[in-house]
Amino acid sequence: MSEKVLMKGNEAFAEAVIRGGVRFYFGYPITPQSEIPEFMSRELPKRGGKFLQAESELGAINMAYGCGAAGGNGFISSSSPGIALMQEGMSFLCGAEVPVTLLNVSRGGPGIGSIQPGQADYNQVTRGGGNGDYRIPVFAPASIQEAVDILYEAPGIADKYRNPVMVLADGLMGQMMEPVVLPEPRHAFTSEEIPAAKPWAISGSEKGERSVVKSLRLQPEVLEAHVEHLYEKYAEMEKELERVECENLEGAEVVFVAFGTMARLAREAMEMLEAQGIKAGMIRPISLWPYPYKAFDGIDFNTTKAVISVELSMGQMLQDINLGVKGRVPVRLIHRVGGMLPTSLEVVEKTKKIYKRHAARQHQLLSRLHPRRRTPHHHGDAG
Partner 1 sequence: MGLLGKTIGVAPIGCSVVAHQFMNVDMCEAAHGRAPAVASGIRRVHPERVVFTYQGDGDLASIGMGEIVHAAARGEKFTTFFINNGIYGMTGGQMAPTTLIGQRSTTSVDGRTREQAGMPLKICELLATLDGPDYIERVSLDSPAHIRAAKKAVRKAFEYQLAGKGFTFVELLSTCPTNWGLTPPEAMKRMREEVAAYYPLGVYKDTGKEAE
Give how many residues touch partner 1 by CB under 8 A: 40
CA–CA separation, 135 vs 41, rounded Å? 30
Q: Which stretch binds partner 1 (CB under 8 A): 203-211, 231-239, 284-292, 351-359?
A: 203-211
Q: How far is the CB of 366 from partner 1 (least distance, A)?
A: 59
| 68 is a contact residue toward partner 1 (CB under 8 A) | yes
Distance of CA 264 to the CA centre of its chain: 15
| 212 is a contact residue toward partner 1 (CB under 8 A) | yes
Please pick, from the candidates 89, 118, 137, 155, the single residue that binds partner 1 as defined by CB under 8 A: 89
* Closest residue by Cα to residue 174 from 312, 314, 30: 30
Strands 50-53 and 254-257: unpaired
| 203 is a contact residue toward partner 1 (CB under 8 A) | yes
User: Quick check: helix, strand or coil at residue 217?
Assistant: coil
Residues 172-201 within binding reach of partner 1 (CB under 8 A)? 191, 194
Residues 122-141 within binding reach of partner 1 (CB under 8 A)? none
Q: Which stretch binds partner 1 (CB under 8 A): 211-219, 240-248, 344-352, 369-377?
A: 211-219
CA–CA separation, 317 vs 291, rounded Å? 10
CA–CA separation, 382 vs 248, rounded Å? 34
What does the DSSP assignment read for 90-153?
Answer: HHHHHHTT--EEEEEEEB--STT--SSB--TTHHHHHH-SSSSS----EE--SSHHHHHHHHHH
| 217 is a contact residue toward partner 1 (CB under 8 A) | no
| 229 is a contact residue toward partner 1 (CB under 8 A) | no
Q: How far is the CB of 160 from partner 1 (least distance, A)?
A: 19
Of 51 and 296, CB closest to partner 1: 51
Q: What angle do CA 190, 11, 71 make, to 5 degrees?
A: 20
Binding site for partner 1 (CB under 8 A): 24, 26, 50, 52, 54-56, 58-60, 62-72, 74, 88-89, 92, 96, 191, 194, 202-206, 210-216
